[in-house]
Structure 1
């Protein structure tokens, strides 16, 4: 397990490292390792990691520095990275803007969901996010906030833990069985020691979603954060998604989320189920 892989379990906002899982990919003749490594380099950039050097990327990806140098050179030539000669560091290039704009533009569900998310955020005085799976993380594709002075420091593009967050657990609860099994295998391979506790939390979340309509994470992702989430299938060829609602425990506690917010969140998300296929 690479250092970055360990960071991914400890810190969901850390770079994903060599998330291509090349060990298993070696058995797949259709898997292009060079492409996977290049994409892993691009995935290292994010909030708080806007400028990275080759040695930073090598450590995050678990790859030799010579390999990373060739990858960053190629990505720079193609416009996916920009090299600042004065610092020797890289930033995401303009070619990635077109990709991100196209990806978000294809998620029409964001615009449809926004009024419902905003209404829940205002009623709960908390943050409400719409997320999709990004390997072993969840990626925010939209975020609405209530009027609270204190809120979660998360926005569109932020990544959070799949296994420990309410949003990730809700995704696991509604995703196809085969995908769930694959997620479990990857989590177990990532950290066999942590896996039994993670498995117990995920199994409990699947049962929660079926029995009470949502998944919970009360201090599991971050000790000072409480959240609930509901998964759904937007239809229209889109993968499952999930919507969470939460905030710092000083203003949003578990009882309030379960008693007051849960019915509103469940109703809002149910209105989105299959909306893109209508």
Structure 2
């Protein structure tokens, strides 16, 4: 009875199977050349039959591949597919940071990038402004979709079939300025789609405002959202328009760096 079957009897099949599958992938990742089943089993310390079963499952999901001549095993394209979104995010951050730095130096305000996790915007990078009082948001923070400029940008790019259930659910009120009426939020989304930028005027936190616009990748899809954060006392009507122009231009510049070019929206 091999180790996996013993752990299966003890009720830990899922944990053991995952541990063993990860051991296979890690061993292949650190090997300078493809490995045969016997060598792979020896390095991991599992029975050959156990490793063979794991390999069949991993191969079905394209996480490993075998060479046609000797059947030796190496990592497959499924691993690349899993890493792709993270690598893409890292590219966006690296490419976007010079744009953030330029805008922060020009405006004196904090500038950040956000990604979409399916229901919220997640702040992934920022450059602090040069003024005495600036806005700060830590990397990795998830912010609501309906009460932030970055979140509203992401909502504006969702199909109506996905936006409707979001607006139908109760929208949480964070301040007296939060838009919680579905019809008003729908009108706000329509305005954003027309102008290309979103505003947050104390809708998520009092005295905290922002203006955001989307940057696109080479496929014309939203790659990230660029945001300028600013205290309310510096965010009058004239400044709103000025920063909106700056963030839209910054997003257009970043889109070009990401391969989209300066095509109109």
Q: Which of the five TM-score ranges fits, normalised by the shorter chain? A: 0.5 to 0.7
CA-CA distance at 1:239 after TM superposition: 4.4
Kindly indicate whether residue 185 of structure 2 is the aligned counterpart of residue 206 of structure 1.
Answer: no
5+ residue gaps in structure 1? 1-72, 79-100
- 1:196-275 to 2 correspondences below 5 Å: 197-211=181-195, 213-236=196-219, 239-250=222-233, 252-255=234-237, 257-273=239-255, 275=257
Q: How far apart, in 2, do the equivalents of 1:240 and 1:203 lie?
A: 24
CA-CA distance at 1:245 after TM superposition: 0.7
Structure 1 vs Structure 2 CA RMSD: 3.5
CA-CA distance at 1:163 after TM superposition: 1.0
Q: Do the aligned partners of 2:111 and 2:226 also contact (CA within 8 Å) in 1?
A: yes
Kindly indicate whether residue 162 of structure 2 is the aligned counterpart of residue 162 of structure 1.
Answer: no
Distance 1:236 1:138, change over 3 A: same
Distance 1:184 1:254, change over 3 A: farther
CA-CA distance at 1:198 after TM superposition: 4.2
Distance 1:196 1:226, change over 3 A: closer
Higher relative contact order (CA 8 A, sep 6+): 1
State the match for 2:118 in structure 1: 135
State the TM-score, normalized to the length of structure 2. 0.57
Kindly indicate whether residue 128 of structure 2 is the aligned counterpart of residue 145 of structure 1.
Answer: yes
Distance 1:246 1:202, change over 3 A: farther
Q: How far apart, in 2, do the equivalents of 1:254 and 1:217 lie?
A: 12
CA-CA distance at 1:241 after TM superposition: 2.5
Q: How far apart, in 2, do the equivalents of 1:168 and 1:196 lie?
A: 14
Query: If you compute each CA radius of gyration, which structure gives the higher value, 1 or 2?
Result: 2
State the match for 2:170 in structure 1: 191
5+ residue gaps in structure 2? 1-13, 20-82, 174-178, 261-265
Q: Do the aligned partners of 1:209 and 1:230 also contact (CA within 8 Å) in 2?
A: no
Aligned length: 181
State the match for 1:84 in structure 2: none
Q: Do the aligned partners of 1:126 and 1:151 also contact (CA within 8 Å) in 2?
A: yes
